[in-house]
Every structure is written in structure tokens, then in C-alpha cells.
């Protein structure tokens, strides 16, 4: 299936709609599980070639989902709304707390092109040499390499679930020649899957990638439509700095008015204006300390 970069946005959902046979039960035979994960990844890969998808925003939102899954694995109660608060409402000098640290690690992991240095920035407690060793898996298909990285980290650091999942997604990205980490494994795996090894872990990773890649494709199509709407209303915004504010909304999952390049009152007015235009949503339901996102 192919398309040109001139396809209208209203056909994007049809072009990138994941075929139903990918999500239909096909049994647990290893060849079926591996085939479906490869098919799901191929559709997600197509997205990287479409100009309409806000890739940084997609990665940031997937990072939030991955962080939410990791926090749940650790037994903590925080969910997406609390993680957004932990990251977006921090004041200078504040510490994000354990759940916020997990969210910060994932955000940093997806911000920059994948490299040992960038991963070291996301996982500052790990040595760069150790990260390089864990990712030095050049044999096997992409999901197999991701599972091998995941197993290697957990074998040496059994409690380092967050780091293991970040590095597993990094191994997947490298195997697929993706420029950035795209969080897929954490949101698709179960807590018990992390204690599997060998063949069982690879099967769990294939299943996780299939489910997460399908969901990421749907999310990408939705964000492409929402981004097109935001870009369409941008010329109507008269506030100085509105253009830069729009670019921030197109790269971040959630934005506090104070993070926009406008005076506080003007930033709040701009956010309310964008909500009225249907271009962004208020994400918290609160009257104060609001957060907004595409």
C-alpha cells in the first residue's frame, strides 16, 4: 500500500487503517504471533512517511502511556492525569517524585534521536558503557532483539523494569532504523510478562507490539486530524507569540499556560480561545492549574 505526501487529511484514516485480520485472533503458534507483530509494525512504519502526523506529539503521548504502565507495574496508584500534573506543574526546585521520574525518563527517551548518549540522559543512573552493552544485539528480527535487550537488563538488574523497557524499545527502534524511540512494549506487556525468559518472553513481546502498534496507528491518525485543525485555526490567532505556542501544542502531550511564550493572562486567553475553536482540549476538568492538549 502506498500514498503520496499530497493525500488529503480526510483520507488518512482510510489509508492507514489497520486491516482487521491483524487484530483478529490467530492462535498462539509462534509463526502466527511473529507474523502479526511484523504486519502491525509495518503499518506503524508507514506513518513515519506521512507529513500530516505530528511525530513528536505522538511520541510524547505514547511516552505518557508507557510511563503509566511502568508506574502500574511498580504498584503505585498514579495514572495519566497524575503523571501529567507531576511533569507539567513542577516549579523550579521541585522534585517530580518516583512516578514523575518514570515519566521524565520516558519523555527524555523519545525527545532526541536514539543514541547511547540520549539514552544515558533519559536513564542517568546507568553507565553509557552498560547501555551500549545491553543494546549490542545485532542478531535476530526487530522484536526478537527488543526481547533480548529486555531480558539482558532484567537478568542483571531484576528491579530495573523502567530502564529495561526503555532500552527494549530503543533496541526495537534501532532494528527498524527509526530515528527515535517509539514506546510500544510497556503499554502492551503485563507485569507477569516481565518475569518470563527466552521463548516465552519473545512471544509476550510479539503480542505486546501487535496490540501497541495497532493502537499507536489509531492514535497517529487521530492526532493528524487534530493537528490539521489546530494549524487551520492558527491564522485566526492575533496574540503575539501565538505561532510559537501552536508549535508547542504540536509537540507536547499537555501544556500549562505558564509554559507558553506569552504573559500569563494572554496565555490563558489563548488557551481558552483555542478550546472555543475546538483546536485543543482542557485535560484536567479543573478551574485552576489547567492543562491543555491537542
Asked if 287 and 260 sit in the same domain, the reply is yes
Asked if 33 and 147 sit in the same domain, the reply is yes
Q: Does pLDDT of 119 surpass 70?
A: yes
Residues sharing a CB contact under 8 Å with residue 229, sequence separation 6 or more, in sequence order: 278, 279
**Percent of the chain predicted with pLDDT > 70:** 90
Give 18's DSSP letter: P
Q: Considering the domain boundaries, does residue 196 fall inside one?
A: yes
Which of residues 115 and 90 earns the better pLDDT score?
115
Asked if 109 and 173 sit in the same domain, the reply is yes
Q: Considering the domain boundaries, does residue 145 fall inside one?
A: yes
Q: In this structure, what CATH number is given to the domain that contains residue 56? A: 1.10.3290
Q: Which of 215, 134, 141 is nearest to 172 (CA)?
A: 141
For the chain, what percentages of helix, strand and coil (3-state, to nearest 5) are there?
Answer: 65, 0, 35
Of 225, 247, 282, the last residue of a domain is 225
Q: Does pLDDT of 183 surpass 90?
A: yes
Under 8 Å between Cβ of 252 and 57: yes
Tally of structural domains, the chain = 2
Provide the domain limits for residue 253.
237-293
Q: In this structure, what CATH number is given to the domain that contains residue 266? A: 1.10.10
Of 167, 198, 225, the last residue of a domain is 225
Q: Considering the domain boundaries, does residue 6 fall inside one?
A: no
* Backbone angles phi and psi of 14, in degrees to 5: -75, -45
pTM, two decimals, is: 0.91
pLDDT, average across residues 165-184: 97
d(C-alpha 52, C-alpha 289), whole Å: 31
Confidence of residue 22 (pLDDT cuts 50, 70, 90): low
**Percent of the chain predicted with pLDDT > 90:** 75
Amino acid at each position: 500500500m502506498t500514498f503520496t505526501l499530497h493525500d488529503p487529511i480526510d483520507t488518512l484514516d482510510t489509508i492507514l487503517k489497520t486491516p482487521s485480520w491483524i487484530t483478529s485472533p490467530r492462535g498462539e503458534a509462534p509463526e502466527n504471533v511473529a507474523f502479526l507483530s511484523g504486519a502491525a509494525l509495518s503499518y506503524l512504519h508507514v506513518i513515519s512517511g506521512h507529513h500530516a502526523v505530528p511525530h513528536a506529539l505522538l511520541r510524547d503521548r505514547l511516552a505518557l502511556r508507557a510511563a503509566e504502565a511502568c508506574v502500574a507495574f511498580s504498584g503505585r496508584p498514579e495514572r495519566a492525569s497524575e503523571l501529567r500534573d507531576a511533569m507539567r506543574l513542577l516549579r523550579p526546585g521541585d522534585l517530580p517524585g518516583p512516578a514523575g521520574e518514570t515519566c521524565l525518563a520516558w519523555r527524555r527517551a523519545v525527545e532526541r534521536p536514539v543514541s547511547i548518549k540520549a539514552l544515558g540522559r533519559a536513564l542517568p543512573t546507568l553507565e553509557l558503557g552498560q547501555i551500549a552493552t545491553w543494546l549490542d544485539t545485532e542478531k535476530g528480527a526487530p522484536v526478537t532483539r527488543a526481547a533480548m535487550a529486555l531480558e539482558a537488563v532484567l537478568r542483571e538488574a531484576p528491579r530495573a523494569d523502567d530502564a529495561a523497557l526503555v532500552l527494549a524499545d530503543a533496541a526495537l527502534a534501532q532494528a527498524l532504523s527509526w530515528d527515535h524511540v517509539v514506546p510500544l512494549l510497556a503499554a502492551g506487556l503485563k507485569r507477569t510478562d516481565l518475569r518470563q525468559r527466552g521463548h516465552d518472553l519473545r512471544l509476550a513481546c510479539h503480542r505486546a507490539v501487535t496490540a501497541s502498534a495497532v493502537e499507536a496507528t489509531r492514535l497517529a491518525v487521530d492526532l493528524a486530524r487534530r493537528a490539521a485543525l489546530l494549524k487551520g485555526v492558527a491564522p485566526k490567532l492575533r496574540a503575539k507569540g501565538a505561532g510559537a505556542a501552536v508549535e508547542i501544542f504540536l509537540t507536547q502531550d499537555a501544556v500549562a499556560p505558564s509554559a507558553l511564550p506569552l504573559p500569563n493572562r494572554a496565555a490563558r486567553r489563548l488557551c481558552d480561545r483555542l478550546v472555543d475553536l475546538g483546536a485543543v482540549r482542557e485535560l484536567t476538568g479543573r478551574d485552576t492549574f489547567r492543562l491543555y492538549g491537542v
